[in-house]
Structure 1
Amino acid sequence: MADSLASPAGPPRTPSLAAAKRRPSTAAMLILAGLALIVAIKLAAPILLPVLTAALVALLLNPMVRGLSRRWLPRWLAALMVMSALGGVVGLAGWLSYEPARELADRSPQLAWQFKRKVEGMMHPLSPAERVEQALNTIETMGKSERERSRTVAVVEHPIGLGERYGGLLGGLAMGVSGIMLIYLLLVFGELLFRRIVTMAPTLADKRNTVSVVREIQSDVTRYVGTVTLVNLGLGAAVALALYGAGLENPLFWGVMAALLNYIPYLGPMLGAVLLVAVGVLQFDSAVEALTPAGIYLFLNMVESQLVTPLVLGRSFSLNPVVILVWLLFWGWLWGVPGLLLAMPLLVCTKIVAARSEMLQPFALMVER
């Protein structure tokens, strides 16, 4: 009777269900893995940045080195010739831009004050009486005695070691030399290293797929960056000529800046327009003349981005603007300005790899316009 009145026990919980509840979900594990990967990439920037930059430059120069090596030139000599030519071009651009950039940096506090005064003058023009009063105030300020304007300044000297004095310079020099050596070694021994990697694939199909993906990445990235470089050089030349016609000082420097900033879609042209507005305000008196350089720059950039680049690159490199902007913000947050410059080649490489993978194909479809 007691047995019959006892409440029936519920169905026993299967061990598999209990284990499933104890086991973390796949989505949580993927999120944690993604966050860990982002932190690792950010912390490894001093190593990854030179390696990725050298790999990208070697990828771009490899077709020229391969072409020269087929004409009975040793590969080491072909790589040396190509890198010497590239170094000459970069050195010439740096030499042309150094003096104007140094002058802007030295005069930046004075230029900021002049910019503020000129903007206030354009927005609120002074009457003749106010101009006279302002001039009198300036003369009175300049005529103050040295005693009234003097300030007591305490200077505390402490010994500076060699590490504090030259540590940053030596670190940057070492990184630059290491990057150049890595580019040269990749150009000379990159093909051999690639063949060794292919032999590690387990099956013949995997070997063929690896070769196909790497060749496609090299071809598309070389085509993309090479075409964008030629377009940017043309844009820089057009901007320099147009700004020279508009009467802006140092038009060659601003042409070089326009070519460099155009490697960063959307954000680069915006920064260039802001800088040209500031320079125009400093150099010219009227608002129309001050805004003319930025207007010329934006017009030429619009022609390049909406007509020239899509016509030259074609549909295969038409990418979603929203994805591009988010991608730029992400890599700029991770690595700063170098991240912004490397963002677009990395996006092209990621799109090519994603298009060949069944798991990552949704990302490739999302990136396309």
Structure 2
Amino acid sequence: MPDLSGKKSETEIPAPPTSSRHPLAVPVTGIFILLLIQGLIFASQFLIPVTTAILGYFILNAPRRALERIGIPAPVSAALFTVSIGAALFLGILALSEPVYEFVTDIPGLFEDLMTTLMGPGGLLEPLTQAADASGRVLEATGEQPPMQVEVVDNVGLATSVVSVAPGLLGQIVFAISLLFFLVASGDMFIQKAVKVSDRFQEKKNTVTMIRTIEARLGNYLGAITLINAVLGLVIGAGMWWWDMPSPWLIGIMAALLNFVPFVGAVVGALISALIAYVSFLDPWMALGVFGTYYALTALEGQFITPALVGQRLRLNVTMVFLSVAFFAWIWSVMGMVVAVPALIVVKVICDSVPKLRKVGLFLGDAEGFLPAREHTIKPTAPDRS
């Protein structure tokens, strides 16, 4: 019989609370994501130097604190860092401007020589040329005129395009260095403000831990990657010298810079080296050997050296790294590919620190960082004795 006394049955288990989601939550979130992506693309000229300066601020916080402990104030450290970065960039551009300009100017000629060699007598694409000539003769024999070829002459060459882009790029570099100076000169002001806006003590503690983790991981990653790329550039330059390639030191510098771009940099560098070898020596086997040497050295670095030095500290999902590089390359071009992995590191640390975003951080991590969730069992509440 049902209990008519009005008292709750001792065996009754209260139903868990149900969470209701607003019906417009999903479409509003989707619209926000689309607008965010469009905003990132539209404001790329402003956001690229800002993102670079913020990443540099996280990296330079540790050495700035080390200099403060020996009595050097933050503004002096900021001036020292930014002047050093600016001088290094200026000297690098000054030293590489002439050979890079000559190489960029020679790229159209290299492609013309390549197509002439490939499609000429004895070239790899000679059968295609013969087939095209045969098709033209057949059309002439049947009385049909082939479509008229119109050649569009563009007086703006590749070198002229690079020169036209240079002022905007120089302005972004100056803006990024200036912003980096003000960020580093402010010391821990932004970190202190981030701690103050947190309400509870545990939130303040998590904020400090998150910021210190970002600084440590970015510093370890970029420091190790810079050292690895410098050694890789020397090794590849020596390999190109062994193959008797023209300007092997320039190819080594190119390899060191391109290796900051995961996945894509190694392939692009190997293809450019093979192109230079083929045009210089007109030997496909030598071009293949140069390509294999370049790519083998980068594969050795990517598969064994880099994972051994920085892999255990990052623990990023390789698929997500590839998607991150592709996404930032789409919205921010070449510079986006450079900042893709550091930005992914920051996002991973933030997701791991915020409880509501830990599921996202789980997908960004690798298999070793996976921790199975504990099984949750519903226990009946204690009976009401009142």
Confirm or deny: 8 A CA contact 1:54 1:180 kept in the other structure. yes
Q: CA deviation at 1:366?
A: 1.7
Structure 1 pair 317–300 and aligned structure 2 pair: CA distance change class (3 A): same
- Read off the aligned partner of 1:30 and give its amino acid letter: T
Gaps of 5+ in 2: 1-19, 127-152, 156-162, 367-386
Name 2:86's counterpart in structure 1. Answer: 87
User: Equivalents in 2 of 1:321, 1:314: separation in Å?
Assistant: 11
Name 1:366's counterpart in structure 2. Answer: 363
User: Equivalents in 2 of 1:51, 1:125: separation in Å?
Assistant: 47
Name 1:123's counterpart in structure 2. Answer: 123
SS in 2 for 1:359: helix
Name 1:330's counterpart in structure 2. Answer: 327
* Corresponding pairs, count: 312
Name 2:280's counterpart in structure 1. Answer: 283
Question: Which of 248, 257, 260 in structure 1 is aligned with 2:245?
Answer: 248
Structure 1 pair 91–238 and aligned structure 2 pair: CA distance change class (3 A): farther
Name 2:50's counterpart in structure 1. Answer: 51
1:77 matched to 2:67: no
Moved more, 24-33 or 52-61: 24-33
Name 1:16's counterpart in structure 2. Answer: none
Higher helix share: 1
User: Equivalents in 2 of 1:295, 1:181: separation in Å?
Assistant: 42
- CA RMSD after TM alignment: 2.6
User: Equivalents in 2 of 1:321, 1:198: separation in Å?
Assistant: 33
Confirm or deny: 8 A CA contact 1:65 1:75 kept in the other structure. yes
1:300 matched to 2:304: no
Confirm or deny: 8 A CA contact 1:93 1:256 kept in the other structure. no
- Read off the aligned partner of 1:93 and give its amino acid letter: G
Moved more, 34-43 or 295-304: 34-43
Name 1:136's counterpart in structure 2. Answer: none
Confirm or deny: 8 A CA contact 1:96 1:253 kept in the other structure. no
Confirm or deny: 8 A CA contact 2:86 2:177 kept in the other structure. no
Name 1:110's counterpart in structure 2. Answer: 109
Q: CA deviation at 1:125?
A: 10
Structure 1 pair 168–102 and aligned structure 2 pair: CA distance change class (3 A): closer
Name 1:238's counterpart in structure 2. Answer: 235
Structure 1 pair 95–250 and aligned structure 2 pair: CA distance change class (3 A): farther
Confirm or deny: 8 A CA contact 2:78 2:184 kept in the other structure. yes
Q: CA deviation at 1:173?
A: 4.1
Q: CA deviation at 1:355?
A: 1.3
After superposition, what is the alpha-carbon deviation per residue over 1:295-335, rounded to whole angstroms, capped at 9, x for unaligned? Answer: 11111101101110011113232322222221111111111
After superposition, what is the alpha-carbon deviation per residue over 1:277-296, rounded to whole angstroms, capped at 9, x for unaligned? Answer: 11111111322222222211
TM-score (norm 1): 0.78
1:344 matched to 2:341: yes
- Read off the aligned partner of 1:294 and give its amino acid letter: F
Name 1:203's counterpart in structure 2. Answer: 200
Q: CA deviation at 1:124?
A: 4.9
TM-score (norm 2): 0.74
User: Equivalents in 2 of 1:169, 1:104: separation in Å?
Assistant: 16
Confirm or deny: 8 A CA contact 2:233 2:253 kept in the other structure. yes
Name 2:313's counterpart in structure 1. Answer: 316
- Read off the aligned partner of 1:89 and give its amino acid letter: A
User: Equivalents in 2 of 1:93, 1:119: separation in Å?
Assistant: 36
Name 1:142's counterpart in structure 2. Answer: none
Q: CA deviation at 1:175?
A: 3.2
Name 1:17's counterpart in structure 2. Answer: none
Confirm or deny: 8 A CA contact 2:317 2:363 kept in the other structure. yes
SS in 1 for 2:72: coil
Report the identity percentage: 27
Structure 1 pair 293–177 and aligned structure 2 pair: CA distance change class (3 A): same
Confirm or deny: 8 A CA contact 1:217 1:352 kept in the other structure. yes
- Read off the aligned partner of 2:106 and give its amino acid letter: R
After superposition, what is the alpha-carbon deviation per residue over 1:47-88, rounded to whole angstroms, capped at 9, x for unaligned? Answer: 221111111122222222222232222322222223333333
Structure 1 pair 187–271 and aligned structure 2 pair: CA distance change class (3 A): same
Name 2:8's counterpart in structure 1. Answer: none
User: Equivalents in 2 of 1:117, 1:318: separation in Å?
Assistant: 47
After superposition, what is the alpha-carbon deviation per residue over 1:120-146, rounded to whole angstroms, capped at 9, x for unaligned? Answer: 3563599xxxxxxxxxxxxxxxxxxxx
Structure 1 pair 98–174 and aligned structure 2 pair: CA distance change class (3 A): closer
Confirm or deny: 8 A CA contact 1:64 1:82 kept in the other structure. no
After superposition, what is the alpha-carbon deviation per residue over 1:80-122, rounded to whole angstroms, capped at 9, x for unaligned? Answer: 2233333333334333322221112222222211111223356
Name 2:29's counterpart in structure 1. Answer: 30
Confirm or deny: 8 A CA contact 1:201 1:207 kept in the other structure. yes
Structure 1 pair 174–34 and aligned structure 2 pair: CA distance change class (3 A): same
After superposition, what is the alpha-carbon deviation per residue over 1:130-174, rounded to whole angstroms, capped at 9, x for unaligned? Answer: xxxxxxxxxxxxxxxxxxxxxxx9x9xxxxxxxxxx996655444
1:270 matched to 2:267: yes
Confirm or deny: 8 A CA contact 1:97 1:256 kept in the other structure. no
Confirm or deny: 8 A CA contact 1:119 1:281 kept in the other structure. no
Confirm or deny: 8 A CA contact 2:74 2:187 kept in the other structure. no
Question: Which of 223, 226, 245 in structure 2 is aligned with 1:226?
Answer: 223
- Read off the aligned partner of 1:104 and give its amino acid letter: F
Confirm or deny: 8 A CA contact 1:118 1:281 kept in the other structure. no
Structure 1 pair 312–291 and aligned structure 2 pair: CA distance change class (3 A): same
- Read off the aligned partner of 1:87 and give its amino acid letter: G
